[in-house]
Amino acid sequence: VALAGLLMTLPHFISEPYRYDNTSPEDMPQDFKASLCLPTTSAPASAPSNGNCSSYTETQHLSVVGIMFVAQTLLGVGGVPIQPFGISYIDDFAHNSNSPLYLGILFAVTMMGPGLAFGLGSLMLRLYVDINQMPEGEPQEHMFARP
């Protein structure tokens, strides 16, 4: 699980810095279809293609996706045994009078995890995408990762 966490942070350090696109949706033509590779290029709405992507960009995106896939797989494989093995361990080795308390603590901590993650996630949305390259401006501007 720890290795998965470290792997999930790796794309932040190996990717290029985030570049904010100042184009607003009102300025775009109706038939505009944005390229997923470069913010300055566009593909026709009728024929989207990767012809305007450089091989370096495609390779870099593919490596980041691969790292995230491996990290998520490790997290899933490492996190699955906690619940069934934890319950079995408590049931086998805890005293009969203490077993319900320990199981209650295990389930409570399991339920508090996602709530804590959503709370911390909402705090993180107040930060700029690249924390070490904070632009001038207010957090209410579109440059910040807000929903």
Task: Report the alpha-carbon distance of residue 85 to residue 78 in Å, rounded.
Answer: 12
What is the 8-class DSSP label of residue 27?
A: G
| Range(s) of the domain holding residue 98 | 81-147
Domain boundary pick from 35, 65, 80 = 80
Q: What pTM did the predictor assign?
A: 0.57
DSSP lists the bridge partners of residue 42 as 34
Residues 126 and 64 reside in one and the same domain: no
83-114 as b/e: b if 16+ CB within 10 A: eeebeeebeeeeeeeeeeebeeebeeeeeeee
The predicted-structure confidence for 72-122, as pLDDT tens digits, reads as follows: 999 999 988 888 898 999 999 999 999 999 999 999 998 999 999 999 998
In the chain, the number of structural domains is 2
pLDDT band at 49 (very low <50, low <70, confident <90, very high): low
